[in-house]
Amino acid sequence: MSYDLNMFDEETGIEMKAQSSNLNEELGQVEYVFSDKTGTLTCNIMEFKKFSAGNTSYGTDLQPTMPQEDNVCFHDPDLFRNLGNTNIENYNDLRRVMFFLATCHTIVID
């Protein structure tokens, strides 16, 4: 396996190494394979495109107009207007979500 030419990641230019060569022997012991097909035909890359604050959803399917970080594809002009408007109904929810995204981007709010 270590000499396989397909063990090369073209995107990063890194040659992959097999950690264990006993995989072939263990495959014969597999009786069931469960799969949800996630990532089988795709690159399996997650991008930040939308979020919700209170009852309002932010994010459009349009391409962003400003430069953004990797894995971020967010565009919604209403977000900046609403962040500056303390009179909107979900202003506190929006500020809270922005605070949590800025401090810990791995959270899930119920």
* Catalytic (active site) residue 61: no
SS3 content of the chain, % helix, strand, coil (to 5): 25, 10, 65
Q: Are 16 and 9 in contact (CB under 8 A)?
A: yes
Residue of 4, 36, 61, 110 marked catalytic: 36
Cα separation of 67 and 83, whole Å? 20
Q: Catalogue the active-site residues.
A: 36
